Structure 1
Amino acid sequence: MSEEIKVQETAESADQDLSNVVAYKKGDVVKGKIVKIEDNQAIVDIGYKYDGIIPLKELSNVSLDNASEAVEIGQELELKVLSLDDNKEKLLLSKRAVDSEQSWTDLQAKLDAGTIIEAQVKDVVKGGLVVDVGLRGFVPASMVERHFVEDFADYKGRTLRLKVKELDREKNKVVLSQKDVLDEEFEASKKQLMGELKVGQQLDGTVQRLTQFGAFVDIGGIDGLVHISEMAWHHVQQPSEVVQEGDKVQVQVLKVDPENDRISLSIRATQPGPWQQAADKFQPGEIVTGTVKRLVSFGAFVEIAPGVEGLVHISQIAHRHIGTPHEVLKEGQDVSVKVLDFNPAEKRVSLSIKETEEAPEAPAKPERKSDRERGGSRGSHSNEPIPPRESLNLTLGERFGDKLSKFK
């Protein structure tokens, strides 16, 4: 075959190849494959006479530092033609434009259905997080977690599970929430757990927060309240006297109220009561030190061990007679008491203060006076001596003579 024929066939083949090339124009959506990635752009083969370029800013709706953050070699994409110049062999394409158009439709469907989507955090900005959902999505700080987060610095690069909260195409606004997803999961878990709880059940928990009236304890995804009266067997003024946030505690379930989402717990119910602890500690006849806790009209209640109070009856307070316990005692006073009777099964202790003290000596009794002394005293108002008994009888006879004879 002559050189002339070869040249002619080559020219015809080239003309044929060119005739098979699809003509593209601005705005067309084309399919292509990533063949090369540079820092600020990606090179794409769309089956045209020359490769197209996707600039960095056209790769995503969120800001990127490098093209490799959005695409990888061999990846097939749908792209929109931004401009085409055959003379300069320059073809500019956009992934972002196609993603945006499709994303608005997809996100609206997910908003309507309440679908959970996953998206990676691309940036941390003031007030929240920026995520890539085909569009620039924003997760406000208050919608990231169920709890308060002070610093979001380590959230960049994380994948979040989100629900679409708000879409506004005119303002190019997409608001999403992870908190909604977590709240739904929490409610489902709480409902299941509350259904499994039984009164009297003992569980391990973690103190979440303290209030004036008690402590909230996490018992596996849900919180229950330990009222201040259930924190210890002794009197507690502040919950911080017993526990701190983060403490691991054992609790007993007192009450479950699914309708009002309330769980009542007790720490003290998991511990031996003061009467159990004191069962072998006190014996009748023993003298111990206690603190006056309450004064009542009939006596005083004295605490001889944490949570163990006994009664000192008013008759056992002092050797002398007293009208009220307040004459001798005051609340908060430390006193020595003798254990008269100790019955831990009935939670009863009888105590005495006066039996710890020596009784005072009785005053001396006055001497009895003789009959003569008594007589002398009776005649002290007259100088006349008292007549003898016979003389007294005679005098009566003389005086009443006839009258007495009538009774004989």
Structure 2
Amino acid sequence: MATDHTENPDPTDNVTEDPEKQEDQGPPKEEAAPEGNNFLELYEESLRTIQEGEVVRGEIVQIDKEYVLVDIGYKSEGQIPIHEFQDENGNITAKVGEKVDVLLERKEDEEGIIILSKEKAAKIKVWDQIREIYERDGTIKGVIKSRVKGGLSVDVGLPAFLPGSQVDLRPVRDMDSLVGTEHEFKIVKYNKRRGNIVLSRRAILEA
């Protein structure tokens, strides 16, 4: 009689390992925190929203003999020459804590200094005002500063020209008498690229 040589299966071959008995893998690994350089890159990226040639609002934080330091929310304060804050008598008009509109001329010069300008920011704002008044046919106030060839020079935030024929309804014999007086004017034409603004007082008197 033939002998059965079939081997009995090993009872441990198909045993499923209890998950609870699996080797402890330890707590999940935490993601590595950004390194210092990454933080710096993120910080600098947030500062790139301020572009050169842009007018921004800042706060005066320091005043010395040569410069006024203004905080515009950039990585360091910007400098403005002190003469931009002097009035006609040479008095300093800047005050620490005062808010001012400034033009970001350069983010950093050769020495790593941020260069700002209060005067250029003011001029940009005046040009915007000139355009807006001209388009809606409005008027602008100005002070007659001096007599020039063919008419008068008027300060409307920028130098403007008032032709002699546009001073009054009738010819004015003594135009020097108008120097220092303030009036309302119509903007006849302007050219920002050339820096020309032509005014008329007569147009208002005729209305």
Same fold, judged at TM 0.5 (above) = yes
Q: Distance in 2 between matches of 1:107 and 1:152?
A: 26
Q: Distance in 2 between matches of 1:42 and 1:140?
A: 39
Deviation, 1:79, is 1.9
State the alpha-carbon separation in 1 of the partners of residues 109 and 128 from structure 2: 34
CA 1:86–1:104: 2 relative to 1, 3 Å? closer
Distance in 1 between residues matched to 2:164 and 2:108, nearest whole Å: 45
When normalised by structure 2's length, the TM-score is 0.55
Distance (whole Å) between structure 1 residues aligned to residue 131 and residue 51 of structure 2: 30
Larger radius of gyration: 1
Structure 1: gaps (5+ residues): 1-11, 185-408
Aligned residue number for residue 44 of structure 1? 70
Residue deviations 1:284-307, cap 9 Å, x none? Answer: xxxxxxxxxxxxxxxxxxxxxxxx
What TM-score do you get using the length of structure 1 for normalisation? 0.32
Q: 1:94 aligned to 2:117? A: yes
AA matched with 1:95? K
1:144 to 1:91, Cα distance in 2 relative to 1, 3 A: farther
How far the C-alpha of 1:38 sits from its partner, in A, is: 8.3
Q: Could you tell me how far apart the structure 1 residues matched to 2:203 and 2:162 are?
A: 11
In structure 2, the gaps of 5 or more residues are 1-35
> What displacement does 1:177 show?
1.6
Residues 113 and 86 (structure 1), Cα distance of their counterparts in 2 relative to 1, 3 Å cut: closer
1:169-184 matched pairs, under 5 angstroms: 169-184=192-207
Structure-2 separation of matches of 1:170 and 1:45: 30
Q: Determine helix, strand or coil for the equivalent of 2:53.
A: coil
For the residues of structure 2 that align with 1:168 and 1:25, how far apart are their CA atoms? 25
Instruction: Give the structure with the higher percent helix.
Output: 1
Cα distance change of structure 1 residues 93 and 165 upon mapping to structure 2, 3 Å threshold = same
Aligned residues of 1:27 and 1:82 also touching (Cα < 8 A): yes
CA RMSD of aligned residues (A): 4.1
Distance 1:30 1:80 in 2: 6
2:176 alignment counterpart: 152
Please state if 1:31 is matched with 2:57. yes
Question: How many residues get paired?
Answer: 162
Cα separation, 2, equivalents of 1:178 and 1:75: 36
Quote how far apart the aligned CAs of 1:115 are.
Answer: 1.1
Matched, 1:166 2:185: no
Paired AA for residue 46 in structure 1: I
The 3-state SS of whatever aligns with 1:85 is coil
* Aligned residues with identical type, % of pairs: 26
Letter in 1 for 2:80: I
Match of 1:202 in 2: none
Q: Does 1:132 align with 2:152?
A: no
Q: CA deviation at 1:159?
A: 2.3
Where 2:56 maps in the other structure, the secondary structure is: strand
2:76 aligned with 1:53, yes or no?
Answer: no
Higher relative contact order, chain-length normalized (CA < 8 Å, sep 6+): 2
Q: CA deviation at 1:75?
A: 4.9
CA pair 41-125 structure 1, distance change in 2 beyond 3 A: farther
